Structure 1
Amino acid sequence: MILNSILAALSQMSDPRFRSVLMRGVGLTLALLIGAYVLVFWLIQFLLPDSFTLPFIGEVSFVDELLSWGSVVLMMLLSVFLMVPVASAFTGLFLDDVADAVEARHYPALGPAPRVGLAEGIRESLGFLGVLIAANLVALVAYLVLAPFAPVIFYALNGFLLGREYFAMIAVRRLGRSEAKAAFRRHIGTIWIAGALMAVPLTVPIVNLMVPIIGVAAFTHLYHRLHATTR
Structure 2
Amino acid sequence: MIPASFLAALGQMGDARFQRVLVMGVGLTVALLIGAYVLVFWGVQWLLPDSFTLPWVGEISFVDEMLSWGSVLLMMVLSIFLMVPVASAFTGIFLDDVADAVEETHYPTLPSAPRTSFADGMGEALTSLGVIVVANLAALVFYFTPLAPFVFYGLNGFLLGREYFRMIALRRLGKPGARAAFRRHIATIWAAGALMAVPLTIPLVNLFVPILGAATFVHLFHRLERQA
TM-score, with length taken from structure 2: 0.90
- Where 1:109 maps in the other structure, the secondary structure is coil
Q: How much has 1:40 moved relative to structure 2?
A: 3.6
Q: How much has 1:48 moved relative to structure 2?
A: 4.2
Q: Deviations along 1:115-160, whole A, 9 cap, x unmatched?
A: 112110111111111111111111111223xx11211111111111
Distance 1:169 1:39, change over 3 A: farther
The aligned residue for residue 182 of structure 2 is 184
Q: How much has 1:67 moved relative to structure 2?
A: 3.3
Distance 1:55 1:175 in 2: 69
Do the aligned partners of 2:37 and 2:71 also contact (CA within 8 Å) in 1? no
The aligned residue for residue 225 of structure 1 is 223
5+ residue gaps in structure 1?
Answer: none
The aligned residue for residue 20 of structure 2 is 20
**Please, which of 137, 150, 153 is the counterpart of residue 152 of structure 1?**
150
Distance 1:52 1:22, change over 3 A: same
Distance 1:96 1:156, change over 3 A: same
Alignment coverage as a number of residue pairs: 228
Do the aligned partners of 2:88 and 2:125 also contact (CA within 8 Å) in 1? yes
Q: CA RMSD in A?
A: 2.2
Distance 1:52 1:161, change over 3 A: farther
The aligned residue for residue 165 of structure 1 is 163
Do the aligned partners of 1:5 and 1:221 also contact (CA within 8 Å) in 2? yes
Do the aligned partners of 2:161 and 2:189 also contact (CA within 8 Å) in 1? yes
Distance 1:178 1:34, change over 3 A: farther
More displaced stretch, 177-186 vs 58-67: 58-67
Q: How much has 1:70 moved relative to structure 2?
A: 5.1
Distance 1:131 1:57, change over 3 A: farther
Q: How much has 1:25 moved relative to structure 2?
A: 2.0
Distance 1:219 1:63, change over 3 A: farther
Distance 1:41 1:224 in 2: 45
5+ residue gaps in structure 2?
Answer: none
More displaced stretch, 5-14 vs 61-70: 61-70
